[in-house]
Each structure stands twice: as C-alpha cells, then as structure tokens.
C-alpha cells in the first residue's frame, strides 16, 4: 500500500512538472512558436529604432530621424528572394492602398529595408520598387550599407536572417510599425493585411483627430 502511495505522488508530481514545463516554455500557454514569443516581447519592450544610415533607391542617405513625426511601416526583405518577400511586399502594397490617401506621406511612410546590402544596390532596389508600384517617396526601399549597423537593427527588432551561402536567406517576416517618436509600436502579422490596415488607420485617425 505504501508503494502505491508513492506511485500516486509520483504521478501527481510528474503532471505538475509537465504543466509548469509547458507554462514556462510557452509563456503561459501564449506562445507556441518562437516567432509569437518574439513579437509578444517586442510589443512589450517597444525598443527605439537604432541610429543607422539608410541608403534608398534614389541614392539618398539618411537615418531613421528622417521620418520623425511620422509613423513608419517597415518590412525586411532581400530582392533576390523568391517566395516570402514577394508575398510580404504584395501584402504591404495592399495595406498601402487600403490606408486613406490623405495620411500617406503626410502621417505615415512605408519603408522596405533590405538585409542583403551586397546585392541590393540602389539601382537594384529601384527596379524592385517598380514591381510593387512603390513611388520611392512615400514608400521607400532602402538598404543599410554598413553590415554592423544592419546587424544592430535586425537584432533590436528580432529579425532573424540566416544566409544559406547560395545567396538565399531564411528569415522571419512581419509588418513593423514605428511611432512618430521612432519607437516600435506594433508588430503585425503580414498575412492579415486587412487587420493590419485597419489597425494602422485607427492609429492614424486617433493621431490626427486626437
């Protein structure tokens, strides 16, 4: 009988251990993939965009302070990408077109940042830009030429980029929205364009009216 009692206690302890393991491992049953965990954490921390130099498709160089006072919707891409980036940019275009015209350029700027500065020269970005009917002004495409600075941005925003050595990259994708103060506000699912457009429009409505 005593043996059975210990057996029962062991079952109880194992179940307790299992629940705590899964609780800790999924941030309280909220994040089953590292990507969800990452975005949850980013939205909590709201990091400030680091000081780096961007070079856009019009060969202009500036830092994120260029967009001070405006919201910035960012995506991270590389132009030789054949799958996710295309979808990401098509979806970004969808959001761009769903936001009321009056805000575009005035209150919000779209920015696609390449994490492959070696291939994505301004000329290459200019070509890529035209595929998505980006005007290069209210929707800019830029690279961060300095690898160190690029790494800082990727690290700060939790963008994981793994080169496979053949010019392709494994990477995660999302819409990143930074506020007028240059701090990250939202990380949105790039597949839910309507939801993202609505969220951004609501934020802009509040900003302009409030």
Which residues are near another protein by CB under 8 A? 3-4, 6-7, 9-11, 13-15, 17-18, 21-22, 25-26, 31-38, 83-84, 160, 162, 164, 170, 172, 191
Beta strand 161-163 pairing with 139-143:
unpaired
Q: How many residues does the chain have?
A: 210
- In whole angstroms, the minimum distance from the beta carbon of 6 to another protein comes to 5
Helix (H) or strand (E) holding 111: strand 108-114
Alpha helices (H) along 59-176: 84-98, 122-131, 147-157
Cα–Cα distance between 165 and 183 in angstroms, integer? Answer: 33
**CB nearer to another protein: pick between 2 and 206:** 2
Nearer to another protein, 51 or 162 (CB): 162
To the nearest whole angstrom, how small is the minimum distance from the Cβ of residue 55 to another protein?
A: 27
Q: How far is CA 80 from CA 11, 84, 121, 147, 178, in A?
A: 54, 11, 12, 18, 26
What is the closest distance, in whole angstroms, from the C-beta atom of residue 62 to another protein in the complex?
30
Question: Shortest gap between Cβ of 32 and another protein (angstroms)?
Answer: 6
**Nearest approach, Cβ of residue 116 and another protein (Å):** 16
Residue 181 has φ and ψ, to the nearest 5°, of: -90, 10
User: Considering beta carbons, is residue 29 or 62 the nearer one to another protein?
Assistant: 29
CB 178 within 8 A of CB 74: yes
The nearer residue to another protein, 165 or 210, going by C-beta atoms, is 165
Nearest to another protein of 22, 131 (CB atom): 22
The one-character DSSP state at 99 is S
């Amino acid at each position: 009988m005593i043996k059975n009692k210990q057996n029962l206690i062991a079952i109880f302890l194992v179940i307790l251990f299992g629940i705590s393991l899964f609780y800790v491992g999924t941030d309280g049953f909220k994040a089953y993939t590292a990507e969800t965990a990452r975005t949850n954490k980013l939205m909590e921390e709201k990091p400030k965009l680091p000081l780096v130099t961007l070079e856009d498709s019009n060969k202009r160089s500036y830092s994120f302070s260029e967009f001070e006072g405006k919201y910035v919707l960012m995506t991270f891409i590389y132009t030789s990408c054949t799958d996710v980036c295309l979808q990401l940019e098509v979806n970004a275009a969808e959001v761009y077109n769903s936001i009321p015209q009056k805000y575009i350029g005035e209150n919000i700027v779209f920015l696609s940042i390449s994490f492959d500065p070696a291939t994505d020269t301004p000329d290459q970005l200019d070509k890529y830009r035209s595929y998505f009917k980006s005007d290069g002004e209210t929707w800019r495409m830029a690279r961060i030429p300095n690898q160190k600075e690029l790494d800082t941005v990727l690290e700060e925003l939790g963008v994981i980029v793994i080169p496979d050595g053949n010019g392709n990259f494994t990477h995660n994708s999302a819409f990143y929205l930074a506020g007028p103060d240059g701090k990250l506000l939202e990380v949105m699912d790039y597949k839910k364009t309507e939801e993202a457009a609505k969220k951004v429009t609501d934020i802009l409505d509040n900003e302009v009216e409030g």
